[in-house]
Amino acid sequence: MTTPDLVTPDLTALPVAEWKDDTRAPIRLTPARTGVHLGRRDNGEPVALPVPGPAGTRVAVLGESLFVRMVALRLLAVGAHVTAATKAPYRWNAIRDVAGERLLVTEDPAPWPRATPAPPTVDAGPQVLVTDLRRAPSAALADGPWRTVIHVTRTAPRRAAFWSHPDALVALSAAQADQVGHLLGREAAHRTSQLTAGQIILFRPGSSEILRPDVSPGEKALLTPDQQTLHLPALP
């Protein structure tokens, strides 16, 4: 059996058709909200903290350090290396037991980052600094790809460049409304003042989202091994 020779057709002789789309359906592109999962809005829509990412990110948190330990745990789960600069190292013991060398707990974070920041699964991966120290970290620490710096405090430091227009700001209760107002203005303060028990608010440039954090039983066991009260909503 012989195979006939394939002949390339004369493209100029092919029929010509003009594509017409009479539906005129609108197309809208919106930024992807990627990052580590934080919780859900009242309508069930998930909300993520935009870290880690290819751009350096500053995250300011008003409230208790327990929240940032939860965030750090989730960042470890996606391949980040975390440095925790803290005045209470014992609170990180359970997380350190499971994280191993990917978590460094210290009272002095310098020098940081510990390794060259990279995308997840590449070399040392994203580098994260989490600090509950009184002094705010330098804003310049977040300059560069795959760097995340998180500072948590009950009272925002005055004249700290890190807290000036952060990439994300989280307030953990309505009690922080006045401080949010000093940082982001009257409307942001009003939104924060309307938080109910178990709600938090996430501010990003041009947007804000009220949500309830999700905490799994496994996370709760690591975050509160001594059975202290977890000031986050319980799972159903």
User: Domain with 87 in it: what CATH number?
Assistant: 3.40.50.300
**Mean pLDDT of the 124-151 span:** 96
* Cα diameter, the chain: 87
**Mean pLDDT of the 198-224 span:** 93
- How much is the pTM? 0.82
146 assigned to some structural domain: yes
189 assigned to some structural domain: yes
19 assigned to some structural domain: no
Closest CA to 38 of 30, 50, 52: 50
Flag whether pLDDT at 228 surpasses 70: no
pLDDT of res. 235:
36
Q: 158: domain range?
A: 35-222
Query: From CA 46, how far away is CA 48, in angstroms rounded?
Result: 7
Helix (H) or strand (E) holding 168: strand 168-171
Confidence category of residue 84, pLDDT binned at 50, 70, 90: very high
**Mean pLDDT of the 223-235 span:** 55
Flag whether pLDDT at 89 surpasses 60: yes
8 assigned to some structural domain: no
**Mean pLDDT of the 139-164 span:** 95
- Beta-carbon neighbour count of residue 43 at 10 Å? 5
The percent of residues above 70 in pLDDT, for the chain, comes to: 81
Contact by Cβ (8 Å): 149, 162: yes
17 assigned to some structural domain: no
Query: In 3-state terms, what secondary structure has residue 171?
Result: strand
Query: Please, what is the angle between helix 186-193 and helix 177-184, to 10°?
Result: 160
- Number of domains, the chain: 1
- Mean pLDDT, the chain, as a whole number? 87
**Mean pLDDT of the 118-140 span:** 94
Contact by Cβ (8 Å): 127, 137: no
95 assigned to some structural domain: yes
- Beta-carbon neighbour count of residue 140 at 10 Å? 11
Residue that has been written with the tokens 């107002």 in this structure: 181
110 assigned to some structural domain: yes
215 assigned to some structural domain: yes
